[in-house]
Amino acid sequence: MPVLRRVVLLRHGETQGDSASRFHGSNDVALSDAGRHQIREAVHGLKGEVFELVVASPLRRSWQSAAIVAGTAPVRLEAGFREIHFGRWEGLSLEEIQARDPILCEDWQAGREGFEYPSGERRADFRARVLAAFSSIEASGAANVLCVLHKGVIRVIAEHLGGEPLERDQPALGCSVSFTRAAGGSWRAGRRSSNPEALVA
């Protein structure tokens, strides 16, 4: 069976609920016109790429973005790639969260160990389901895969492959990070961009 050799992790575009400033985790919000434009711009950097598999989460902002990139190719939906559930912070802006939960918000902003979203999904559970879904992608037999996902999901996979976390606010909407498997089996990160370029093995 072929081994997964290259994976591009592309974040979905902006949503109608302004995903740049609101905590949309399990909320199923659609792409905005600006979000569609962001993804079309990202497509330019994918020209020449041949993906055997395009994957998205069942949430609209993910699969709508994937459909733009994939064109007529089918998109595989993976339930395990849904964004984390933010609990009572779902749909709120940072300002609203600071007003309602100032101490917890401070803990989150400081990256305090043991922080959990109030009434939300446990971060360990989130990581486990994301990596289980990624394992199914690795077992698919596809060598080159494009995953159009959510920021939290991308961060989990990127840390798993690269061994270290991405910067706090990365990747931005419509931006990507790519990984290529080296001859020894380890992964190396490629360019982080809204126009991801293919790596030379």
Domains and CATH numbers, the chain: 6-85+121-189 (3.40.50.1240)
- Rounded Cα–Cα distance for residues 7 and 4 (Å): 8
- Point out the residues that are catalytic: 12, 83
CA distances from 177 to 63, 91, 138 (A): 18, 26, 17
Q: By the 8 A CB rule, do 174 and 44 touch? A: no
Short-list 101, 129, 124, CA closest to 114: 124
- The stretch 180-197 carries a mean pLDDT of 74
When pLDDT is cut at 50, 70 and 90, the band that residue 168 belongs to is confident
Whether pTM > 0.85 for this model: the answer is: yes
State pLDDT tens for residues 17-73.
Answer: 766 689 999 999 999 999 999 999 999 888 888 899 999 999 999 999 999 999 888
